[in-house]
Structure 1
Amino acid sequence: MSAEPWVTAIDVARHLGVVKDTIYRWRERKGLPAHKIGRLWKFQLSEVDKWVRAGGLMTPRRAKANIDESSGEG
């Protein structure tokens, strides 16, 4: 069994369809999972995908909109 490779912010940005600066901002402000290896930030796509599926990209306003839609309100 081979270990999952570590990828860069550029790789994650391509994977999610955003720019690299957004990845660093999400890491800093929204808790995007990352690991500092030396002086570089590295990511594992499985962790990133899990974070996205868990709602990591949702702002409070978007989260409330999703709750309202699912309850039939709003």
Structure 2
Amino acid sequence: MTSSADEEEILTLRQVAEFLKVTDRTIYRLAAAKKIPAFKVGGTWRFSKAEITEWIQQQTQGGKADKT
């Protein structure tokens, strides 16, 4: 799989939880509160891997800005 195909990948709630090393419930709460980029397909949450990666970078930058 190439990196561009990897960036276009759509993840399930469980895959995002595993990727971020948190519980499924944590991801569900973040998605429902619109604190993490997500969308629903047929009533189930889905996530763009590229958007999740970007969100992680934004969270990291925000955390650094708060500490200075």
Same fold (TM over 0.5): yes
Check whether the contact 2:9–2:50 (CA below 8 A) recurs between aligned residues. no
Q: Structure 1: which 4+ aligned runs deviate by more than 2 Å?
A: none
- Asked if residue 48 in structure 1 is aligned to residue 52 in structure 2, the reply is yes
Q: Which has the larger strand fraction?
A: 2
Query: Taking structure 2 as the reference length, what is the TM-score of the superposition?
Result: 0.71
Q: Name which of 22, 33, 51 aligns with 1:18.
A: 22
Within a 5 Å distance, the mapping from 1:60-71 to structure 2 comes to 67=66, 69-70=67-68
Tell me which amino acid in the other structure corresponds to 1:18.
Answer: V
| Aligned mates of 2:40, 2:34 — CA distance in 1 | 16
- Asked if residue 31 in structure 1 is aligned to residue 35 in structure 2, the reply is yes
Q: Unaligned stretches of 5+ in structure 2?
A: none
Q: Which has the larger helix fraction?
A: 2
Number of equivalenced pairs: 63
Q: Which moved more, 1:13-22 or 1:26-35?
A: 26-35
Greater RCO, 1 or 2 (C-alpha within 8 Å, sep 6+): 2
Q: Which of the pair has more CA radius of gyration?
A: 1
- Backbone CA RMSD of aligned residues: 2.7
Query: Taking structure 1 as the reference length, what is the TM-score of the superposition?
Result: 0.66
Q: Unaligned stretches of 5+ in structure 1?
A: none
Q: Deviations over 1:43-67 (max 9, x none)?
A: 11111121121128x7xxxx5x953
